[in-house]
């Protein structure tokens, strides 16, 4: 699978399975990010839609900070087996498989650390008045 943006059909391929159960037995999800596409936090990509049910999971998924995730290149994506393409809902709404871009755990730590330093700086400024 090649990912070049968030538009299904033109920037990434989407597989439609109508009215049948999708069985993921010994399946890996492999892909690459196309040049020029840098996913932003929350980008959703609905890869497989229209199944009446899903059994199994991709065997190359990983658990990162409690989220079922998968790497495409060096980008981490949360994966959902209960998404709904028609309602643009990522969890607990259907039987579609979707990816959502999430930052690396190190990026989260840097963001939280920066926010903590900013809060401490503001508190120190207030108390020194």
- Residue 65 CA, chain-centre distance (Å), reads 13
Q: Model confidence at 127, in pLDDT bands (50, 70, 90)?
A: low
Question: What are the pLDDT digits (tens) for 93-117?
Answer: 999 999 999 986 554 445 555 556 5
Are residues 56 and 27 in contact, defined by beta-carbon separation less than 8 angstroms?
yes
Alpha-carbon distance values, 12 to 37, 46, 56, 64 (Å): 11, 9, 23, 24
Measuring CA to CA, which residue among 98, 1, 105 is closest to residue 45? Answer: 98
Question: What are the pLDDT digits (tens) for 52-62?
Answer: 999 999 999 99
Measuring CA to CA, which residue among 15, 20, 55, 17 is closest to residue 31? Answer: 15
- State how beta strands 62-64 and 32-33 pair: unpaired
CA Rg value for the chain: 18
Question: What are the pLDDT digits (tens) for 1-55?
Answer: 999 999 999 999 999 999 899 999 999 999 999 988 999 999 999 999 999 999 9
Where do the structural domains in the chain lie, given as residue ranges? 2-104
């Amino acid at each position: 699978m090649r990912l070049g943006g968030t538009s299904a059909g033109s920037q990434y391929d989407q597989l439609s399975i109508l009215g049948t159960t999708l069985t993921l037995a010994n399946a890996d999800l492999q892909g690459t990010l196309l040049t020029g596409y840098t996913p932003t936090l929350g980008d959703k990509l609905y890869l497989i839609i229209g199944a009446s049910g899903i059994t199994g999971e991709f065997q190359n998924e990983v658990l990162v900070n409690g989220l079922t995730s998968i790497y495409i290149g060096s980008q981490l994506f949360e994966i959902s087996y209960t998404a709904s393409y028609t309602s643009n809902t990522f969890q607990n709404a259907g039987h579609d498989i979707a990816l959502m871009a999430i930052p690396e755990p190190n990026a989260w730590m840097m963001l939280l650390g920066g926010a903590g330093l900013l809060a401490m700086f503001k508190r120190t400024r207030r108390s020194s008045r």
